Amino acid sequence: MLIETKRLKVRTFKLEDWQDLQEYVSQKSVMTYERDWDTSDASCQEKVKYFSEGDTMWAVELKDIGKMIGHVYFGQVQPKDFMEWTIGYIFNPKFYGNGYATEAAKAVMQYGFDELGVHRVFAKCNPDNTPSWKLLERLSMEREGCSMKRVCFIKDEKGQPIWWDEYQYAILQEEWPVFSCTVHK
Ligand SMILES: CC(C)(COP(=O)(O)OP(=O)(O)OC[C@H]1O[C@@H](n2cnc3c(N)ncnc32)[C@H](O)[C@@H]1OP(=O)(O)O)[C@@H](O)C(=O)NCCC(=O)NCCS
C-alpha cells in the first residue's frame, strides 16, 4: 500500500527499513513518552517484518532522499462496528520542524475516511508532550479532555508507579478538512 503526498511516500514497511527505524527509536529523547522498545538489531529487524505484514503501521519516506524518517500508527479499536481508529506517530528528530509528521498523518487519515469508512479518530498524549498535541491540533482534532493519572509506563526507584495525565483528542468524519493525496493500491 502506498499513499503519495507532495513530499512523502506513506507506505507499507519494507524489511530494509530496520536501520532507519533503529536510528530514531534508539534515541532516549524520542521515546520519552513511549513504552520502552528493545532496539537491538535483531529486534528492529523483527519489528519491521511484523509491521510489513500488518496494516496498522505506516512507514514515512521522504521522497527527495528515499529515507524512512518516521512512522504513523493507525489502528481500529473495538468494537469494530463503531468504526473508530486511533492514531500515533514517532519521527526521527533530524527531520522535525518541517511538517512531515503532519503531512503523513493527514494522508493516513484521508485514506481512513475515504477508503476504510472511518467514523471517528482519536489520539492520546501526555500534556507535557507539546509537539504531539500541537500536531493533533494541526490535524484539526479537538481536545476533549484530560484524564488524570491515567498512564504508567515507568516506576520509581521504590517500584511505585509514576502516573501521567493524558489528553484525549478526536475528530469526526464530517469535521475532516479534505487533504489532497494519491492512494496507489
Ligand atoms: C510528535 C512529533 C512527530 C512532532 O514532530 P514535529 O516535527 O513537531 O511535527 P511536524 O513534522 O508536523 O512539524 C511541525 C513543525 O514544523 C513546522 N513546519 C514547517 N513547515 C511546515 C509545513 N509545511 N507544514 C506544517 N508544519 C510545518 C511547524 O510550524 C511546526 O513547528 P512548531 O511546532 O515549531 O510550530 C515528534 O516530536 C516526535 O516524533 N516525538 C517523539 C515521539 C512522540 O512523542 N510521539 C507522540 C507520542 S503521543
What does the pLDDT look like over 99-126, one tens digit per residue? 999 999 999 999 999 999 999 999 999 9
Compute φ and ψ for 152, nearest 5 degrees: -135, 110
Q: Which DSSP state fits 177? A: P
**What pLDDT does 126 receive?**
97
What average pLDDT does this structure show over 132-161? Answer: 96
**What pLDDT does 113 receive?**
97
Cβ of 91 below 6 Å from ligand 1: yes
d(CA 159, CA 125) in angstroms, rounded, equals 24
What average pLDDT does this structure show over 60-88? Answer: 98
Could you tell which of 39, 102, 146, 165 is best to mutate to test the pocket of ligand 1, judged by most ligand atoms within 8 Å of the CB?
102
CATH superfamily membership of 2-184 = Gcn5-related N-acetyltransferase (GNAT) (3.40.630.30)
Would you give the distance in Å from CA 148 to the centre of its chain? 23
Q: What ranges do the domains of the chain cover? A: 2-184
What average pLDDT does this structure show over 152-169? Answer: 95
What average pLDDT does this structure show over 119-143? Answer: 98
